[in-house]
Amino acid sequence: MGLLGSLAMLLSFLSILWSPALGAVSHAVSTDRARSLDALLQDYAYRAFDRPRTGISYNGKVPSNLTGITISAMRLRSGSLRNRGVNSYKEFEIPTGVVVRPYVERLVLVYQNLGNWSADYYPVPGYMYLAPVVGLLGYDASNLSATNLVELNVTTSGQPISVRFSVVRSVPVGSTARCVRFDLQGTTIFSNVTSGNVCSTNEQGHFGIVAESTAPSPAPVLQPPPASLLPPAQSPSSNGGLSNNDKMWWKIVGSVGGSILVLSLLLILVLGIRKYKRRKAMEEMEERSEYGEALQIANIGPVRAPMARGTRTPPETEIQNVD
User: Running DSSP on this structure, what letter comes out for residue 96?
Assistant: S
C-alpha–C-alpha distance, residues 282 and 8, integer Å = 67
For the chain, what is the largest distance between any 2 Cα atoms, rounded to a whole number of angstroms? 175
**What CATH number should be reported for the domain holding residue 48?**
2.60.220
Mean pLDDT of 95-117: 96
Q: Tell which of 212, 240, 257 closes a domain.
A: 212
Domain identity same for 101 and 199: yes
Higher pLDDT, 285 or 293: 285
C-alpha–C-alpha distance, residues 256 and 242, integer Å = 20
* pLDDT at position 175 over 80: yes
How much of the chain exceeds pLDDT 90, in percent? 52
Q: Does residue 223 belong to any structural domain of this protein?
A: no
Domain identity same for 129 and 263: no
* pLDDT at position 13 over 60: no
How much of the chain exceeds pLDDT 70, in percent? 68
Sheet holding 57-60, edge to edge: 57-60, 70-77, 106-113, 127-140, 205-212, 178-182, 188-192
Q: Does residue 135 belong to any structural domain of this protein?
A: yes
Domain identity same for 171 and 274: no
* pLDDT at position 159 over 80: yes
Which ranges constitute the DSSP H helices of the chain? 3-17, 22-26, 28-46, 78-84, 118-121, 236-239, 244-289
Domain identity same for 89 and 178: yes
Domain identity same for 35 and 158: yes
* pLDDT at position 308 over 70: no
Domain identity same for 103 and 196: yes
- Which band of pLDDT confidence, cut at 50, 70 and 90, is reported for residue 294? low
Domain identity same for 71 and 162: yes
What burial letters (b/e) apply to 128-138, b meaning 16+ CB within 10 Å? Answer: ebbbbbbbbbb
* pLDDT at position 207 over 80: yes
> What is the pTM assigned to this prediction?
0.59
* pLDDT at position 94 over 60: yes
Q: Does residue 173 belong to any structural domain of this protein?
A: yes
Q: Does residue 282 belong to any structural domain of this protein?
A: yes
Higher pLDDT, 317 or 107: 107
- Which band of pLDDT confidence, cut at 50, 70 and 90, is reported for residue 44? very high
Domain interval for residue 137 = 22-212
Q: Tell which of 212, 234, 257 closes a domain.
A: 212
Domain identity same for 187 and 279: no
CB of 188 closer than 8 Å to CB of 24: yes
Domain identity same for 254 and 205: no
Mean pLDDT of 262-280: 85
Domain identity same for 151 and 277: no
Q: Tell which of 161, 194, 212 closes a domain.
A: 212
Domain identity same for 257 and 118: no
Q: Does residue 13 belong to any structural domain of this protein?
A: no
Mean pLDDT of all residues in the chain? 80
pLDDT of residue 6: 43
Q: Give the tens place of pLDDT for each residue, 211-230.
A: 998 655 555 555 555 555 55
Residue 229 class from Cβ within 10 Å (0-12 exposed, 13-18 middle, 19+ buried)?
A: exposed
Q: Does residue 316 belong to any structural domain of this protein?
A: no
CB of 66 closer than 8 Å to CB of 75: no
Q: Does residue 194 belong to any structural domain of this protein?
A: yes
Q: Does residue 95 belong to any structural domain of this protein?
A: yes
Domain identity same for 177 and 254: no
Q: Give the tens place of pLDDT for each residue, 224-259.
A: 555 555 555 554 444 455 566 666 777 787 777 788
Number of domains in the chain: 2
